[in-house]
Structure 1
């Protein structure tokens, strides 16, 4: 299962990597048949966020280590190194750029962006 990873270098400049969660066949809810499951990631909080159509923020670091799941809409994220990625419905975005100059985020199109965000330890 692929996701977009945003991290930062030693100088605090954010950049993207394309990554994938590794899934292994495991018993998750016996007696139901085994399913493909990732390793667990310890989480602290869960929040829902709506970015209104037309919203665009100033350059900022991520407020915490977090993983966002795009439920609807489309947004554009520009890393500190200038790389631009678009995240659409169904996209997964793992943010680790918490100390440096950060990134910019803008809603694309006329639809609000709805995100489910899991904030990590």
Structure 2
């Protein structure tokens, strides 16, 4: 399993990296059989939001360290480095560009983007 990691360098310029989530065999819901599972990570908040069709924001940093899960629609995100990624339903990305110049997000197409956001400690 992978996620898209958006972080920033020492100059505050955001950039992307594809990261593999380490999984190992473990018990999640005994007596169900073991399954590949990640380590737990402490979380602060869970929220849901909708980016309406046609929405496009100004360049901004992430409000806090968080993980986004795209439930529907398509997004285009441009990192401060100029690299662009597009993704849709099923995409997972971790946003840790919290203090630099940030990134730009744009909704693609005529469908709203529905997101679930888990904000980290």
TM more than 0.5: yes
Structure 1 length normalisation: TM-score? 0.99
1:31-110 alignment to 2 at 5 Å? 31-110=31-110
Root-mean-square deviation (CA), in Å? 0.5
Give the whole-Å Cα distance in 2 for the aligned partners of 1:27 and 1:7: 31
Query: Residue 117 of structure 2 corresponds to which residue in structure 1?
Result: 117
* Structure 1: 5+ residue stretches without partners: none
Runs of 4+ in 1 over 4 A off after TM superposition: none
- How many angstroms does 1:35 deviate by? 1.1
| Number of residues of Structure 1 aligned to a counterpart in Structure 2 | 121
Q: CA deviation at 1:87?
A: 1.7
Runs of at least 5 residues in structure 2 that lack an aligned partner in the other structure: none
94-103 or 22-31, larger mean C-alpha shift:
22-31
Residue 7 of structure 1 corresponds to 7
Name the SS of the counterpart of 2:86 in structure 1: strand
Distance in 1, matches of 2:29 and 2:99, equals: 39
